[in-house]
Amino acid sequence: MGNCQGAKINGPNVVRSRHAGKQIKKYYKVSKDIIGKGAFAKVYMGHSIANPGLKVAVKIINKLYLGEEDLNAIGDEVQSLQTLDHPNIVKYYETYEDSRFMFIITEF
């Protein structure tokens, strides 16, 4: 299906790691309950370990099913979210990425 090697999200809040899922567990407690899902992604509720009052949404995207055009579109969306600050737009926190998955952390 897709080629997950091509497109990459750039920015100060992007962490690339061989095991991005393990990296996230250092900073966030993620529930097992799905609060939303699409064809290639699921969204889970979570909270910051350092600040338990900070609720987050963790969108987990399986990159193996996406083409380069799809990955570029996701990258463009994240870059837009990084620059926006408005009460009616979800606040972007950071992205974790490995060869298979992309984890986008936003406010809940």
Q: How much is the pLDDT for 15?
A: 75
Domain membership of residue 24 (yes or no) is yes
Domain membership of residue 99 (yes or no) is yes
pLDDT-derived band at 8, boundaries 50, 70, 90: low
How far, in Å, CA of 59 to CA of 44, rounded?
Answer: 6
The CATH number assigned to the domain holding 48 equals: 3.30.200.20
Minimal CA–CA distance to 61: which of 41, 33, 82? Answer: 41
Cβ atoms within 10 Å, residue 48: 15
Domain membership of residue 88 (yes or no) is yes
Domain membership of residue 102 (yes or no) is yes
Q: 67 is in which domain, residue-wise? A: 14-107
Domain membership of residue 76 (yes or no) is yes
Domain membership of residue 9 (yes or no) is no
pLDDT-derived band at 10, boundaries 50, 70, 90: low
Q: What is the mean pLDDT of the chain?
A: 86
Q: How much is the pLDDT for 16?
A: 75
Using CA atoms of 45, 89, 81, 65 in order, give the dihedral in degrees to the nearest 10: 50
Minimal CA–CA distance to 60: which of 24, 6, 89, 27? Answer: 24
Amino acid identity at 48: S
Domain membership of residue 4 (yes or no) is no
Tokens of 76: 């463009």
Count of structural domains within the chain = 1
Specify the higher pLDDT residue, 9 or 24: 24
